[in-house]
Amino acid sequence: MKLHLRIWRQDDSQSKGHFGEYDLENVREDMSFLEMLDVLNEQLIDSGQEPVAFDSDCREGVCGMCSLVINGKAHGPLAGTTTCQLYMRHYKDGDVITIEPWRSEAFPVIRDLIVDRTAFDRIMQAGGFVTLHSGPKPEPNSIPIEPEVAEQSLDAATCIGCGACVAACPNGSAMLYTAAKISHLGLLPQGQPERYSRVKQMVEQMDKEGFGSCRNYAECEAQCPKEISINFVSQMNRDYLKATLLEPVDRRSKMNAQ
Amino acid sequence: MQRVLALYESSLGKKVVVAITGLILYGFVLGHMVGNLKVFTGNDAAGEPHIDIYAHFLRTVGEPLVPYSFLLWIARIILIVALVLHVYTVIVLAKKNHSARKKDYARHSYSQASNTARWMMISGTLLLVFVVFHLAQFTFGTVGGAKFVEGKVYANLYFAFQRWFFAGLYILVMAGLALHVHHGVWSLFQTLGLDNPDRNRTFRLLATASSIGLFIGFAAVPILFYLGLMPLPPATESTQLADGVM
Protein backbone atom coordinates (compact mmCIF):
# COMPACT_ATOMS: atom_id res chain seq x y z
CA MET A 1 0.00 0.00 0.00
CA LYS A 2 0.91 3.64 -0.40
CA LEU A 3 0.93 6.03 2.54
CA HIS A 4 1.42 9.71 3.16
CA LEU A 5 3.24 10.38 6.44
CA ARG A 6 3.32 13.67 8.35
CA ILE A 7 6.08 13.26 10.90
CA TRP A 8 7.26 15.72 13.55
CA ARG A 9 10.89 16.71 12.93
CA GLN A 10 12.86 18.58 15.60
CA ASP A 11 16.66 18.77 15.91
CA ASP A 12 16.81 19.17 19.71
CA SER A 13 14.82 20.42 22.69
CA GLN A 14 15.73 24.03 21.89
CA SER A 15 14.70 24.15 18.24
CA LYS A 16 11.19 24.88 17.05
CA GLY A 17 10.35 21.79 15.04
CA HIS A 18 8.05 21.25 12.08
CA PHE A 19 6.16 18.51 10.23
CA GLY A 20 8.02 16.62 7.52
CA GLU A 21 5.86 15.23 4.69
CA TYR A 22 6.82 11.84 3.26
CA ASP A 23 5.30 9.47 0.70
CA LEU A 24 5.99 5.81 1.26
CA GLU A 25 5.22 3.06 -1.25
CA ASN A 26 5.22 -0.73 -1.01
CA VAL A 27 4.15 -0.87 2.63
CA ARG A 28 3.15 -4.46 3.42
CA GLU A 29 0.23 -5.37 5.68
CA ASP A 30 2.34 -7.66 7.85
CA MET A 31 4.85 -4.95 8.72
CA SER A 32 4.67 -3.52 12.19
CA PHE A 33 4.30 0.25 12.50
CA LEU A 34 7.94 0.56 13.55
CA GLU A 35 9.09 -1.63 10.64
CA MET A 36 7.21 0.74 8.36
CA LEU A 37 9.25 3.60 9.89
CA ASP A 38 12.44 1.51 9.43
CA VAL A 39 11.61 1.25 5.71
CA LEU A 40 11.02 4.99 5.56
CA ASN A 41 14.37 5.61 7.26
CA GLU A 42 16.23 3.40 4.80
CA GLN A 43 14.61 5.34 1.98
CA LEU A 44 15.65 8.62 3.64
CA ILE A 45 19.22 7.44 4.19
CA ASP A 46 19.47 6.23 0.56
CA SER A 47 18.41 9.65 -0.69
CA GLY A 48 20.90 11.40 1.62
CA GLN A 49 18.33 12.73 4.10
CA GLU A 50 18.38 12.57 7.89
CA PRO A 51 16.41 9.51 9.18
CA VAL A 52 13.53 9.98 11.63
CA ALA A 53 14.62 9.40 15.24
CA PHE A 54 12.19 7.29 17.31
CA ASP A 55 12.46 5.14 20.42
CA SER A 56 12.10 1.36 20.41
CA ASP A 57 13.71 -1.59 22.14
CA CYS A 58 12.05 -4.97 22.69
CA ARG A 59 9.38 -4.61 19.96
CA GLU A 60 7.35 -7.14 21.93
CA GLY A 61 5.11 -4.68 23.83
CA VAL A 62 6.74 -5.10 27.23
CA CYS A 63 9.66 -2.69 27.57
CA GLY A 64 7.86 0.66 27.41
CA MET A 65 10.38 2.31 25.10
CA CYS A 66 8.23 2.89 22.03
CA SER A 67 5.94 5.88 22.03
CA LEU A 68 4.39 7.98 19.19
CA VAL A 69 1.07 9.77 19.05
CA ILE A 70 -0.47 8.40 15.85
CA ASN A 71 -3.36 10.43 14.42
CA GLY A 72 -4.00 11.92 17.85
CA LYS A 73 -3.87 8.67 19.84
CA ALA A 74 -1.00 7.49 22.02
CA HIS A 75 0.32 4.17 20.61
CA GLY A 76 -2.16 4.40 17.72
CA PRO A 77 -5.81 3.44 17.27
CA LEU A 78 -5.92 0.01 18.95
CA ALA A 79 -6.80 -0.38 22.64
CA GLY A 80 -4.30 -2.24 24.81
CA THR A 81 -1.56 -2.13 22.19
CA THR A 82 1.88 -0.53 22.09
CA THR A 83 3.11 1.11 18.88
CA CYS A 84 5.51 -1.79 18.24
CA GLN A 85 2.59 -4.25 18.30
CA LEU A 86 0.50 -2.18 15.88
CA TYR A 87 0.49 -3.70 12.39
CA MET A 88 -0.02 -2.00 9.05
CA ARG A 89 -3.02 -4.21 8.30
CA HIS A 90 -5.02 -1.65 10.30
CA TYR A 91 -4.32 0.96 7.62
CA LYS A 92 -5.40 1.12 4.01
CA ASP A 93 -3.93 2.38 0.76
CA GLY A 94 -3.81 6.16 0.53
CA ASP A 95 -4.07 6.82 4.30
CA VAL A 96 -2.52 9.99 5.69
CA ILE A 97 -0.85 9.28 9.05
CA THR A 98 0.21 12.07 11.42
CA ILE A 99 2.97 11.01 13.81
CA GLU A 100 3.89 13.22 16.78
CA PRO A 101 6.02 12.80 19.90
CA TRP A 102 4.51 12.68 23.44
CA ARG A 103 3.73 16.34 24.07
CA SER A 104 4.39 17.39 27.66
CA GLU A 105 6.57 20.07 29.20
CA ALA A 106 7.84 17.37 31.58
CA PHE A 107 8.94 15.25 28.58
CA PRO A 108 11.16 17.55 26.49
CA VAL A 109 11.81 16.42 22.91
CA ILE A 110 15.34 15.10 22.49
CA ARG A 111 15.07 14.64 18.75
CA ASP A 112 12.14 14.16 16.33
CA LEU A 113 9.87 11.62 18.05
CA ILE A 114 12.14 10.82 21.02
CA VAL A 115 11.28 12.48 24.32
CA ASP A 116 13.13 12.54 27.63
CA ARG A 117 11.06 10.52 30.12
CA THR A 118 13.45 10.73 33.09
CA ALA A 119 10.76 12.70 34.96
CA PHE A 120 9.15 9.27 35.54
CA ASP A 121 12.42 7.91 36.93
CA ARG A 122 12.57 10.78 39.42
CA ILE A 123 9.00 10.03 40.55
CA MET A 124 10.08 6.40 41.12
CA GLN A 125 13.20 7.48 43.00
CA ALA A 126 11.07 9.66 45.28
CA GLY A 127 9.30 6.65 46.80
CA GLY A 128 8.77 3.76 44.40
CA PHE A 129 10.66 1.20 46.49
CA VAL A 130 10.25 -1.15 49.45
CA THR A 131 12.70 -1.85 52.22
CA LEU A 132 13.88 -5.48 52.31
CA HIS A 133 16.42 -7.18 54.51
CA SER A 134 19.55 -8.51 52.88
CA GLY A 135 20.02 -11.47 55.23
CA PRO A 136 19.17 -15.12 54.62
CA LYS A 137 16.50 -15.72 51.99
CA PRO A 138 13.06 -16.04 53.66
CA GLU A 139 10.67 -18.91 52.97
CA PRO A 140 8.79 -17.71 49.79
CA ASN A 141 5.30 -18.32 51.14
CA SER A 142 5.91 -16.91 54.60
CA ILE A 143 3.87 -13.74 53.95
CA PRO A 144 0.20 -14.54 53.39
CA ILE A 145 -1.72 -12.40 50.88
CA GLU A 146 -5.27 -12.49 49.54
CA PRO A 147 -5.05 -13.77 45.92
CA GLU A 148 -7.44 -11.06 44.62
CA VAL A 149 -5.26 -8.37 46.23
CA ALA A 150 -2.14 -9.91 44.71
CA GLU A 151 -3.85 -9.90 41.30
CA GLN A 152 -4.86 -6.28 41.72
CA SER A 153 -1.31 -5.35 42.61
CA LEU A 154 -0.11 -7.19 39.50
CA ASP A 155 -2.67 -5.27 37.39
CA ALA A 156 -0.97 -2.06 38.56
CA ALA A 157 2.46 -3.59 38.08
CA THR A 158 1.78 -4.18 34.37
CA CYS A 159 2.58 -0.47 33.88
CA ILE A 160 5.57 -0.34 31.55
CA GLY A 161 6.20 3.36 32.22
CA CYS A 162 5.86 4.36 28.57
CA GLY A 163 4.16 7.69 29.33
CA ALA A 164 1.10 7.16 27.12
CA CYS A 165 -1.10 8.33 30.02
CA VAL A 166 0.63 11.72 30.03
CA ALA A 167 0.53 11.90 26.24
CA ALA A 168 -3.17 11.01 26.12
CA CYS A 169 -4.28 13.28 28.97
CA PRO A 170 -5.69 16.58 27.66
CA ASN A 171 -4.20 18.09 30.85
CA GLY A 172 -0.79 16.41 30.54
CA SER A 173 -1.25 14.72 33.91
CA ALA A 174 0.88 11.81 35.16
CA MET A 175 -1.70 10.59 37.70
CA LEU A 176 -2.23 7.15 36.16
CA TYR A 177 1.50 6.35 36.07
CA THR A 178 2.10 7.60 39.61
CA ALA A 179 -1.04 5.87 40.90
CA ALA A 180 -0.11 2.55 39.28
CA LYS A 181 3.35 2.62 40.85
CA ILE A 182 1.99 3.61 44.27
CA SER A 183 -0.71 0.91 44.20
CA HIS A 184 1.49 -1.88 42.98
CA LEU A 185 3.67 -1.50 46.06
CA GLY A 186 1.01 -0.16 48.45
CA LEU A 187 -1.31 -3.14 47.98
CA LEU A 188 1.31 -5.70 48.98
CA PRO A 189 2.29 -6.52 52.57
CA GLN A 190 5.92 -5.77 51.71
CA GLY A 191 4.94 -2.23 50.73
CA GLN A 192 3.13 -1.33 53.95
CA PRO A 193 5.97 0.27 56.00
CA GLU A 194 6.41 3.12 53.48
CA ARG A 195 2.80 3.19 52.33
CA TYR A 196 1.92 6.73 53.47
CA SER A 197 5.33 8.35 53.09
CA ARG A 198 5.54 6.85 49.60
CA VAL A 199 2.31 8.42 48.36
CA LYS A 200 3.31 11.83 49.74
CA GLN A 201 6.80 11.79 48.25
CA MET A 202 5.78 10.49 44.85
CA VAL A 203 2.87 12.94 44.48
CA GLU A 204 5.14 15.80 45.56
CA GLN A 205 7.72 14.80 42.91
CA MET A 206 4.98 14.42 40.28
CA ASP A 207 3.88 18.02 40.99
CA LYS A 208 7.50 19.26 40.85
CA GLU A 209 8.04 17.77 37.40
CA GLY A 210 5.42 20.09 35.93
CA PHE A 211 2.77 17.57 34.94
CA GLY A 212 -0.82 18.82 34.74
CA SER A 213 -3.51 17.92 37.23
CA CYS A 214 -6.16 15.26 36.70
CA ARG A 215 -9.69 16.26 35.64
CA ASN A 216 -11.05 12.71 35.56
CA TYR A 217 -11.47 12.49 31.79
CA ALA A 218 -10.30 8.84 31.95
CA GLU A 219 -8.55 9.34 28.62
CA CYS A 220 -5.36 7.82 30.13
CA GLU A 221 -7.13 4.54 30.92
CA ALA A 222 -8.47 4.26 27.36
CA GLN A 223 -5.09 4.89 25.72
CA CYS A 224 -2.89 2.98 28.19
CA PRO A 225 -1.37 0.02 26.30
CA LYS A 226 -1.74 -2.04 29.48
CA GLU A 227 -5.33 -0.81 30.10
CA ILE A 228 -4.59 0.22 33.68
CA SER A 229 -7.76 1.30 35.49
CA ILE A 230 -8.40 4.77 36.92
CA ASN A 231 -9.47 2.84 40.02
CA PHE A 232 -5.79 3.22 41.00
CA VAL A 233 -6.10 7.01 40.70
CA SER A 234 -8.99 6.93 43.17
CA GLN A 235 -6.92 4.71 45.44
CA MET A 236 -3.98 7.14 45.29
CA ASN A 237 -6.31 10.06 46.13
CA ARG A 238 -7.59 8.09 49.14
CA ASP A 239 -4.11 7.21 50.37
CA TYR A 240 -2.85 10.74 49.80
CA LEU A 241 -5.74 12.25 51.80
CA LYS A 242 -5.15 9.77 54.59
CA ALA A 243 -1.40 10.43 54.54
CA THR A 244 -1.75 14.22 54.71
CA LEU A 245 -4.79 14.59 56.99
CA LEU A 246 -5.21 11.49 59.14
CA GLU A 247 -1.91 9.71 59.66
CA PRO A 248 -0.67 10.60 63.18
CA VAL A 249 2.25 13.02 63.35
CA ASP A 250 2.90 12.63 67.05
CA ARG A 251 2.55 8.98 67.98
CA ARG A 252 4.29 8.88 71.35
CA SER A 253 3.45 11.95 73.48
CA LYS A 254 1.52 11.56 76.73
CA MET A 255 -2.18 12.38 76.78
CA ASN A 256 -4.14 13.93 79.65
CA ALA A 257 -7.57 12.98 80.91
CA GLN A 258 -10.19 15.71 81.24
CA MET B 1 -5.26 23.55 59.94
CA GLN B 2 -1.56 23.30 59.15
CA ARG B 3 -2.20 19.94 57.57
CA VAL B 4 -5.05 21.33 55.47
CA LEU B 5 -2.79 24.11 54.19
CA ALA B 6 -0.05 21.57 53.43
CA LEU B 7 -2.64 19.53 51.53
CA TYR B 8 -3.66 22.61 49.51
CA GLU B 9 -0.02 23.02 48.38
CA SER B 10 -0.28 19.88 46.24
CA SER B 11 -2.29 19.46 43.05
CA LEU B 12 -4.22 16.60 44.68
CA GLY B 13 -5.14 18.82 47.61
CA LYS B 14 -6.38 21.56 45.30
CA LYS B 15 -8.53 19.01 43.50
CA VAL B 16 -9.94 17.91 46.85
CA VAL B 17 -10.89 21.54 47.58
CA VAL B 18 -12.64 21.76 44.21
CA ALA B 19 -14.43 18.47 44.99
CA ILE B 20 -15.60 19.47 48.49
CA THR B 21 -16.70 22.98 47.47
CA GLY B 22 -18.38 21.36 44.46
CA LEU B 23 -20.21 19.01 46.83
CA ILE B 24 -21.38 22.00 48.92
CA LEU B 25 -22.61 23.81 45.80
CA TYR B 26 -24.30 20.61 44.58
CA GLY B 27 -26.10 20.36 47.93
CA PHE B 28 -27.19 23.97 47.55
CA VAL B 29 -28.62 23.57 44.05
CA LEU B 30 -30.50 20.44 45.18
CA GLY B 31 -32.01 22.37 48.09
CA HIS B 32 -32.77 25.36 45.87
CA MET B 33 -34.52 23.19 43.30
CA VAL B 34 -36.62 21.43 45.96
CA GLY B 35 -37.48 24.81 47.52
CA ASN B 36 -38.55 26.14 44.11
CA LEU B 37 -41.18 23.42 43.85
CA LYS B 38 -43.23 25.45 46.38
CA VAL B 39 -44.11 27.64 43.39
CA PHE B 40 -46.42 24.86 42.22
CA THR B 41 -48.29 24.24 45.50
CA GLY B 42 -50.47 27.36 45.32
CA ASN B 43 -51.56 29.70 48.13
CA ASP B 44 -52.38 29.24 51.80
CA ALA B 45 -55.81 30.00 53.31
CA ALA B 46 -54.97 33.70 53.62
CA GLY B 47 -54.14 33.85 49.92
CA GLU B 48 -50.39 34.15 50.30
CA PRO B 49 -48.32 31.98 47.90
CA HIS B 50 -46.47 29.07 49.60
CA ILE B 51 -43.21 30.14 47.97
CA ASP B 52 -43.46 33.57 49.65
CA ILE B 53 -44.10 31.93 53.01
CA TYR B 54 -41.13 29.61 52.41
CA ALA B 55 -38.88 32.57 51.54
CA HIS B 56 -39.98 34.29 54.77
CA PHE B 57 -39.35 31.08 56.71
CA LEU B 58 -35.73 30.96 55.47
CA ARG B 59 -35.26 34.31 57.22
CA THR B 60 -37.12 33.55 60.43
CA VAL B 61 -35.85 29.98 60.95
CA GLY B 62 -34.03 29.65 64.27
CA GLU B 63 -35.77 32.63 65.93
CA PRO B 64 -35.69 33.49 68.78
CA LEU B 65 -32.45 31.55 69.40
CA VAL B 66 -30.76 33.52 66.64
CA PRO B 67 -31.73 36.89 65.16
CA TYR B 68 -33.71 37.40 61.94
CA SER B 69 -31.84 36.24 58.80
CA PHE B 70 -28.95 34.86 60.90
CA LEU B 71 -29.00 31.27 59.64
CA LEU B 72 -29.63 32.48 56.10
CA TRP B 73 -26.51 34.62 56.29
CA ILE B 74 -24.47 31.72 57.69
CA ALA B 75 -25.55 29.67 54.69
CA ARG B 76 -24.82 32.56 52.34
CA ILE B 77 -21.31 33.02 53.75
CA ILE B 78 -20.56 29.29 53.43
CA LEU B 79 -21.80 29.35 49.84
CA ILE B 80 -19.84 32.49 48.92
CA VAL B 81 -16.63 31.05 50.42
CA ALA B 82 -17.25 27.71 48.66
CA LEU B 83 -17.89 29.43 45.33
CA VAL B 84 -14.81 31.68 45.59
CA LEU B 85 -12.56 28.73 46.57
CA HIS B 86 -14.06 26.55 43.81
CA VAL B 87 -13.50 29.14 41.08
CA TYR B 88 -10.11 30.35 42.32
CA THR B 89 -8.71 26.82 42.69
CA VAL B 90 -10.00 25.78 39.27
CA ILE B 91 -8.24 28.78 37.72
CA VAL B 92 -4.96 27.88 39.47
CA LEU B 93 -5.25 24.25 38.30
CA ALA B 94 -6.23 25.25 34.76
CA LYS B 95 -3.12 27.44 34.53
CA LYS B 96 -0.96 24.53 35.70
CA ASN B 97 -2.60 22.25 33.14
CA HIS B 98 -2.10 24.78 30.41
CA SER B 99 1.61 25.11 31.14
CA ALA B 100 1.95 21.30 31.24
CA ARG B 101 1.45 21.21 27.46
CA LYS B 102 2.46 24.45 25.81
CA LYS B 103 2.87 22.84 22.39
CA ASP B 104 -0.34 21.03 21.54
CA TYR B 105 -0.94 18.14 19.14
CA ALA B 106 -1.74 18.87 15.51
CA ARG B 107 -4.41 16.17 15.62
CA HIS B 108 -6.75 15.37 18.51
CA SER B 109 -8.66 12.18 18.94
CA TYR B 110 -10.48 11.30 22.16
CA SER B 111 -11.17 7.72 23.18
CA GLN B 112 -13.57 8.11 26.09
CA ALA B 113 -13.38 11.64 27.52
CA SER B 114 -17.03 12.72 27.67
CA ASN B 115 -18.19 16.01 26.21
CA THR B 116 -19.59 17.09 29.57
CA ALA B 117 -16.12 16.59 31.08
CA ARG B 118 -14.43 18.56 28.32
CA TRP B 119 -16.95 21.39 28.57
CA MET B 120 -16.61 21.90 32.35
CA MET B 121 -14.86 25.25 31.95
CA ILE B 122 -17.52 26.50 29.52
CA SER B 123 -20.49 25.30 31.60
CA GLY B 124 -18.78 26.57 34.76
CA THR B 125 -18.15 30.04 33.35
CA LEU B 126 -21.76 30.20 32.17
CA LEU B 127 -22.97 29.31 35.67
CA LEU B 128 -20.68 31.87 37.34
CA VAL B 129 -21.92 34.71 35.12
CA PHE B 130 -25.48 33.51 35.65
CA VAL B 131 -25.17 33.52 39.46
CA VAL B 132 -24.29 37.24 39.37
CA PHE B 133 -27.17 37.98 37.01
CA HIS B 134 -29.62 35.82 38.97
CA LEU B 135 -28.81 37.59 42.26
CA ALA B 136 -29.14 40.97 40.55
CA GLN B 137 -32.55 39.98 39.22
CA PHE B 138 -34.26 38.14 42.08
CA THR B 139 -32.34 39.20 45.20
CA PHE B 140 -31.39 42.83 44.57
CA GLY B 141 -34.10 43.45 41.97
CA THR B 142 -31.83 45.71 39.97
CA VAL B 143 -32.37 44.08 36.58
CA GLY B 144 -35.46 42.67 34.97
CA GLY B 145 -38.04 45.44 35.08
CA ALA B 146 -39.72 47.79 37.52
CA LYS B 147 -42.11 45.23 38.98
CA PHE B 148 -39.71 43.72 41.56
CA VAL B 149 -41.08 43.74 45.13
CA GLU B 150 -38.90 42.20 47.82
CA GLY B 151 -40.56 39.20 49.46
CA LYS B 152 -43.18 38.81 46.72
CA VAL B 153 -41.35 35.85 45.22
CA TYR B 154 -44.26 34.40 43.25
CA ALA B 155 -45.19 37.72 41.67
CA ASN B 156 -41.57 38.52 40.83
CA LEU B 157 -41.19 35.16 39.09
CA TYR B 158 -44.52 35.55 37.35
CA PHE B 159 -43.70 38.90 35.81
CA ALA B 160 -40.09 38.07 34.91
CA PHE B 161 -40.99 34.88 33.08
CA GLN B 162 -43.70 36.47 30.96
CA ARG B 163 -40.79 37.63 28.82
CA TRP B 164 -39.36 35.11 26.39
CA PHE B 165 -35.73 36.20 26.81
CA PHE B 166 -35.72 35.69 30.60
CA ALA B 167 -37.47 32.32 30.32
CA GLY B 168 -35.13 31.29 27.49
CA LEU B 169 -32.02 32.41 29.36
CA TYR B 170 -32.96 30.50 32.51
CA ILE B 171 -33.74 27.31 30.58
CA LEU B 172 -30.43 27.58 28.69
CA VAL B 173 -28.40 28.10 31.86
CA MET B 174 -30.11 25.16 33.55
CA ALA B 175 -28.98 23.03 30.61
CA GLY B 176 -25.47 24.29 31.42
CA LEU B 177 -25.97 23.26 35.05
CA ALA B 178 -27.07 19.81 33.91
CA LEU B 179 -23.86 19.41 31.87
CA HIS B 180 -21.69 20.61 34.78
CA VAL B 181 -23.35 18.27 37.27
CA HIS B 182 -23.22 15.30 34.87
CA HIS B 183 -19.42 15.21 35.07
CA GLY B 184 -18.86 17.04 38.37
CA VAL B 185 -20.95 14.86 40.66
CA TRP B 186 -19.17 11.68 39.57
CA SER B 187 -15.77 13.36 39.35
CA LEU B 188 -15.86 14.65 42.94
CA PHE B 189 -16.22 11.14 44.34
CA GLN B 190 -13.28 9.97 42.21
CA THR B 191 -11.18 12.90 43.46
CA LEU B 192 -12.10 12.20 47.09
CA GLY B 193 -10.95 8.61 46.55
CA LEU B 194 -14.40 7.19 47.26
CA ASP B 195 -14.99 5.66 43.82
CA ASN B 196 -14.10 2.05 43.11
CA PRO B 197 -15.45 -0.62 40.74
CA ASP B 198 -18.08 -1.66 43.32
CA ARG B 199 -19.53 1.84 43.62
CA ASN B 200 -18.77 3.23 40.16
CA ARG B 201 -22.20 2.48 38.69
CA THR B 202 -23.97 4.07 41.65
CA PHE B 203 -21.93 7.29 41.51
CA ARG B 204 -22.35 7.59 37.75
CA LEU B 205 -26.08 6.96 38.06
CA LEU B 206 -26.31 9.58 40.81
CA ALA B 207 -24.57 12.11 38.55
CA THR B 208 -26.83 11.39 35.58
CA ALA B 209 -30.01 11.35 37.68
CA SER B 210 -28.99 14.62 39.41
CA SER B 211 -28.27 16.22 36.07
CA ILE B 212 -31.67 15.29 34.61
CA GLY B 213 -33.58 15.89 37.84
CA LEU B 214 -32.07 19.33 38.43
CA PHE B 215 -32.79 20.36 34.86
CA ILE B 216 -36.43 19.30 35.00
CA GLY B 217 -37.00 20.73 38.49
CA PHE B 218 -35.43 24.10 37.73
CA ALA B 219 -36.56 24.56 34.13
CA ALA B 220 -40.19 23.72 34.96
CA VAL B 221 -40.54 27.15 36.66
CA PRO B 222 -39.71 29.40 33.67
CA ILE B 223 -41.38 27.01 31.19
CA LEU B 224 -44.73 26.85 33.01
CA PHE B 225 -44.78 30.58 33.78
CA TYR B 226 -43.97 31.45 30.18
CA LEU B 227 -46.59 29.10 28.76
CA GLY B 228 -49.20 30.82 30.93
CA LEU B 229 -50.03 27.63 32.84
CA MET B 230 -49.50 29.24 36.25
CA PRO B 231 -52.23 31.22 38.04
CA LEU B 232 -51.91 34.99 38.39
CA PRO B 233 -50.26 36.27 41.57
CA PRO B 234 -52.89 37.04 44.22
CA ALA B 235 -54.42 40.54 44.27
CA THR B 236 -53.23 41.42 40.81
CA GLU B 237 -55.14 44.15 39.06
CA SER B 238 -55.22 44.03 35.30
CA THR B 239 -53.34 47.37 35.14
CA GLN B 240 -50.57 45.97 37.38
CA LEU B 241 -50.28 43.00 35.08
CA ALA B 242 -49.90 45.27 32.09
CA ASP B 243 -47.18 47.17 34.00
CA GLY B 244 -45.42 43.99 34.94
CA VAL B 245 -45.09 42.53 31.49
CA MET B 246 -44.33 45.98 29.99
Q: Do B190 and A238 touch (CB under 8 A)?
A: no
* CATH number of B2-99+119-245, picked from 1.25.40, 1.10.287, 1.20.1300, 1.10.10: 1.20.1300
The answer to whether the beta carbons of residues A162 and A214 sit under 8 Å apart is: no
Which tens digits make up the pLDDT trace of B184-224? 999 999 999 999 999 999 999 999 999 999 999 999 999 99
Q: Do A240 and B111 touch (CB under 8 A)?
A: no
Q: Do A19 and B193 touch (CB under 8 A)?
A: no
CB-closest option in A69, A222, A241 to B193: A241
Which tens digits make up the pLDDT trace of B174-194? 999 999 999 999 999 999 999
Q: Do B16 and A73 touch (CB under 8 A)?
A: no
Q: Do A105 and B197 touch (CB under 8 A)?
A: no
Q: How far is B200 from chain A (nearest CA, A)?
A: 9
Q: How far is A159 from chain B (nearest CA, A)?
A: 19
Give all domains of chain A, ordered by start, each with its CATH number: 3-110 (3.10.20.30), 118-246 (1.10.1060.10)
Q: How confident is the model at residue B236 (pLDDT cuts 50, 70, 90)?
A: low
Q: How confident is the model at residue B246 (pLDDT cuts 50, 70, 90)?
A: very low
Interface pTM (ipTM) of the complex?
0.92
Angle between helices A175-186 and A118-127 (to 10 degrees): 30
Residue of B nearest to A212 (CA): B97
Q: How confident is the model at residue B241 (pLDDT cuts 50, 70, 90)?
A: low
Which residues from chain A sit within 8 angstroms of residue B120, using beta carbons?
A: 215
Q: Is pLDDT at B113 greater than 80 in this prediction?
A: yes
pLDDT tens per residue, chain A (258 residues)?
999 999 999 999 999 999 999 999 999 999 999 999 999 999 999 999 999 999 999 999 999 999 999 999 999 999 999 999 999 999 999 999 999 999 999 999 999 999 999 999 999 999 999 998 888 888 888 889 999 999 999 999 999 999 999 999 999 999 999 999 999 999 999 999 999 999 999 999 999 999 999 999 999 999 999 999 999 999 999 999 999 999 998 999 999 999
Three-state SS letters, chain B: CHHHHHHHHCHHHHHHHHHHHHHHHHHHHHHHHHHHHHHHHCECCCCCEHHHHHHHHHHHCCCCCCCCCHHHHHHHHHHHHHHHHHHHHHHHHHHHHHHHCCCCCCCCCCCCCCHHHHCHHHHHHHHHHHHHHHHHHHCCCCCCCCCCCCCCHHHHHHHHCCCHHHHHHHHHHHHHHHHHHHHHHHHHHHHCCCCCCCCHHHHHHHHHHHHHHHHHHHHHHHHHHHCCCCCCCCCCCHHHHHHHHC
The sheet with strand A96-100 has its strands ordered as A18-24, A3-9, A96-100, A69-70, A73-74
Which tens digits make up the pLDDT trace of A108-135? 999 999 999 999 999 999 999 999 888 8
The mean pLDDT of B90-117, rounded to a whole number, is: 94
Beta pairing partners, B6: none
Q: How far is B6 from chain A (nearest CA, A)?
A: 8
For chain B, the average pLDDT equals: 93
Q: What is the pLDDT of residue B234?
A: 85
The proportion of chain B whose per-residue pLDDT surpasses 90, expressed as a percent, equals 86
CB-closest option in B10, B102, B107 to A72: B107
Query: Among the listed ranges A20-24, B90-94, B184-188, B233-237, which one has the minimum average pLDDT value?
Result: B233-237
CB-closest option in A98, A170, A240 to B12: A240
Q: Which helix or strand (DSSP H or E) is residue A109 part of? A: strand A109-111
Residue of B nearest to A68 (CA): B105
Interface of B with A (CB under 8 A): 3-4, 6-7, 10-16, 93, 96-97, 99-114, 117-118, 120, 183, 186-187, 190-197
- Best interface-test mutation with A: which of B92, B102, B111 has the largest number of A CBs within 10 A? B111
Which tens digits make up the pLDDT trace of B134-173? 999 999 888 876 678 888 999 999 999 999 999 999 999 9
Q: Do A234 and B103 touch (CB under 8 A)?
A: no
Q: One-letter amino acid identity for A178? A: T
